[in-house]
Amino acid sequence: MRFTLPQSGRVELTVYDIRGRLIKRLHQGDLAAGEHAVTWDGRDQRGRAQPSGVYVARLSAGQVRLVSRLTLIQ
C-alpha cells in the first residue's frame, strides 16, 4: 500500500476482515512527510496465514481517515 503524507505525524495503518475484526496492525507511530509504502504479507498479528478474501485497510493520520478494500489471493 502506498500513501503520501502532506506533513509528519502519528500514523496508524491496520487491516480488518470483512466482519470488522482487527487482523493486523501494519504501522503505529510517527512518520515523516512524503511518500510511504507498506506491505501486508497476508498474515495476522500471530503470524497465521489468512484465507483468500476481501479485507479492509484503514489509514489514520491526524484528522484524515482513509479506508480501502483489499483482495487477498493465496
pTM of the model: 0.90
Q: Would strands 9-17 and 53-61 be described as parallel, antiparallel, or unpaired?
A: antiparallel
Distance CA 9, CA 24 (A): 21
Class of domain 2-72 (CATH, top level) = mainly beta
Show the CA angle centred on residue 21, arms to residues 8 and 37, nearest 5°: 30
What is the structure's pLDDT at 39?
95
For 3-50, what is each residue's pLDDT tens digit?
A: 999 999 999 999 999 999 999 999 999 999 999 999 999 999 999 999
With 0-12 / 13-18 / 19 or more C-beta atoms within 10 angstroms meaning exposed / middle / buried, residue 48 is exposed
